[in-house]
Amino acid sequence: MKDFAALFNAVDQTTKTTVKVAALAEYFTTAAEEDRLWTVALFSGRRPKRAVTTTKLREWASEASGVPLWLFEDSYAIVGDLAETISLVLPPVESEDTGTLTAWINALRGLKDEDDAARKAFVLSAWQQLGGTERFLFNKLITGGFRIGISQTLMTRALSRASGRPEPEMAHRLMGNWDPDDVTWHSLIEAEDASADASRPYPFYLAYALEDGPEALGTPEDWRAEWKWDGIRGQLILRDGDYFVWSRGEELMTDRFPELARAADHLPPGTVLDGELLVWQPGAEFPSSFNALQARIGRKTVPKKLLKEAPVVLHAYDLLEWQGADIRDRPFAERRALLEKAAADLPEDAPVRLSPQHQFTDWSQLATLRDTAREAQAEGLMLKRADSPYLSGRKKGDWWKWKLDPLTIDAVMIYAQSGSGRRANLFTDFTFAVWNGNDLVPFTKAYSGLTDAEFRQITAWVRKNTQQRFGPVRQVTPHHVFEIAFEGIQPSPRHKSGVALRFPRMLRWRKDKPLQEANTLDDLKEMLRIYG
């Protein structure tokens, strides 16, 4: 545990990626193989099965520290991390020799057959043995979520350096649902035949946003354009007679989309498609809004009724594997031609469709098309270079998302709430309102979009202009106007204003704008009429 804590500190105490990668690569070379394997697992979001509930952890931490439970909970709300809160409220101790990471993980896993009393005794004793970072990490092993500023990219780079193998290969090896119990360091990282689980997806290729127009990209003939759909990016894998659906967050979502099972009737095994999961009513010209999809995402198993009300299709835009061969190195135009061929015989009601490409000869034509994206329930356009390979991760140059400008409205801040975690001592969560006659009607919350300096400034202002407190929420004097940007607007009977926004955020602090000039509820309703 000491080595692992030292690694954690080395990575946590710097903002420089070179230093982080060096510390990781060193650890992946020198630490015991089983500890390395667990480290890769933990940093890629895997964790041992939870042996203790977080409710129990809170109770025990409250008891062991003498801090009343309500005070512990209030502290947790401010710290924003349960593992950290526990390690801070308990009395400090100096760690002795504490055993390896793997030994602690195995001990934790051994608890699953124990009763609560034994679990509690184990956890309390661990808290007494482990000090500082080690105690925090022990708690993290239980609660999960090692967000420590190591992206998959950095870990891949470090593994590549430690193993001497290329980064894209490492990225691919780490994909999918491997479990540290079923693999070894050797089989995961080093073995020549990485014959993985049939469900293993490819790393997604992610586009950067195109900030200015596409003119700088060169000649239109070199590019292909498609809608940028407002759904969930997904990878459909057909191998060995089975099908798997992965989200781009690397979550296996197969069970949530049973209708995709029928894809195997129309496409051969050894096929992997990249596309967008969308709710699309039979015969409809465009997909349903993201809201409809949200109902589906929330359900791990889908009731028949919902399956019928909100049928999902995959709009495929890329082919990554064909006839069992990884074809990501081939030019996009070639992959697309194969995809079109494969999709040619799909019947109308198949759960997979080809995402259409737009014909265009000059950029202005494309710009005109982009302006109509909202009507097609799209967020804008995707531009892909015809000769580009399918890379892994977010890379600049070949793929661009050219999104619509967001909708905006000027609104008045009326409530403020402090953040947690990184924003523990700042007011960052605000409620905004628009005018309805002389009243201000709340219609959205927003948390992001301001700089740290602006958050500090508004925090100082909130403290001086609090009218009333409701628990952690402060009602402030209506004074500041913010330009709120959002991607979509929907009717919502649950909200006082009658609308719900998609991706609301603060675009600008309109210090130039007097309170009375903020927008009105009628303005919002007009937007709902046009874009809802």
CB 400 to other proteins: min, Å: 30
Assess 451 for contact with other proteins (CB under 8 A). Answer: no
Q: Are 399 and 385 in contact (CB under 8 A)?
A: yes
The DSSP secondary structure of 500-511, one letter per residue, reads EEES-EEEEE-T
Q: Quick one: 420 or 490, whose CB is closer to other proteins?
A: 420
CB 505 to other proteins: min, Å: 18
Helix (H, G, I), strand (E, B) or coil at 136: helix
Q: What is the largest CA-CA distance in the chain?
A: 72
Chosen residue from 38, 43, 72, 400 binding other proteins by CB under 8 A: 72
The DSSP secondary structure of 43-109, one letter per residue, reads HTT--PPP-S-HHHHHHHHHHHHT--HHHHHHHHHHH--HHHHHHHHSPP--------HHHHHHHHH
CB 420 to other proteins: min, Å: 7
Window contacting other proteins (CB under 8 A); options: 66-74, 189-197, 306-314, 475-483: 66-74
Would you state the structure tokens that stand for residue 39, as one six-digit string?
């480290």
Assess 365 for contact with other proteins (CB under 8 A). Answer: no
Chosen residue from 3, 74, 259, 454 binding other proteins by CB under 8 A: 74
By CB under 8 A, the residues from 475 to 514 that bind other proteins are none
- Number of neighbours of residue 359 by Cβ within 10 angstroms: 10
Helix (H, G, I), strand (E, B) or coil at 224: strand
Calpha distance 330→341 (Å, rounded)? 16
Q: Are 173 and 189 in contact (CB under 8 A)?
A: yes
Residue 523: exposure state from Cβ atoms within 10 A (0-12, 13-18, ≥19): middle
Give me the residues paired with residue 354 across strands.
316
Window contacting other proteins (CB under 8 A); options: 61-69, 180-188, 255-263, 434-442: 61-69
Site size for other proteins, by CB under 8 A? 38
Q: Quick one: 426 or 518, whose CB is closer to other proteins?
A: 426
Q: Quick one: 91 or 397, whose CB is closer to other proteins?
A: 91
**Dihedral (CA of 44, 46, 52, 53) sign:** positive
Window contacting other proteins (CB under 8 A); options: 182-190, 310-318, 386-394, 451-459: 451-459
Assess 13 for contact with other proteins (CB under 8 A). Answer: yes
Assess 12 for contact with other proteins (CB under 8 A). Answer: yes
Assess 149 for contact with other proteins (CB under 8 A). Answer: yes
Contacts with other proteins, 421-450, as mask; x by CB under 8 A: xxxxxx------------------------
Assess 145 for contact with other proteins (CB under 8 A). Answer: no
Window contacting other proteins (CB under 8 A); options: 12-20, 288-296, 377-385, 515-523: 12-20
Chosen residue from 3, 10, 14, 100 binding other proteins by CB under 8 A: 14
Q: How many residues does the chain have?
A: 532
Give me the residues paired with residue 381 across strands.
227, 402
Chosen residue from 5, 7, 24, 79 binding other proteins by CB under 8 A: 79
CB 14 to other proteins: min, Å: 5
Could you tell me where the DSSP H helices lie in 196-289? 263-266
Chosen residue from 10, 78, 124, 404 binding other proteins by CB under 8 A: 78
Calpha distance 156→390 (Å, rounded)? 18
Residue among 42, 253, 248, 17 at smallest CA distance from 142:
42
Would you state the structure tokens that stand for residue 173, as one six-digit string?
């090896």
Q: Enumerate binding residues for other proteins (CB under 8 A).
A: 12-16, 65, 67-68, 70-72, 74-75, 78-81, 84-85, 88-89, 92, 149, 420-426, 452, 456, 459-460, 463-464, 466, 469
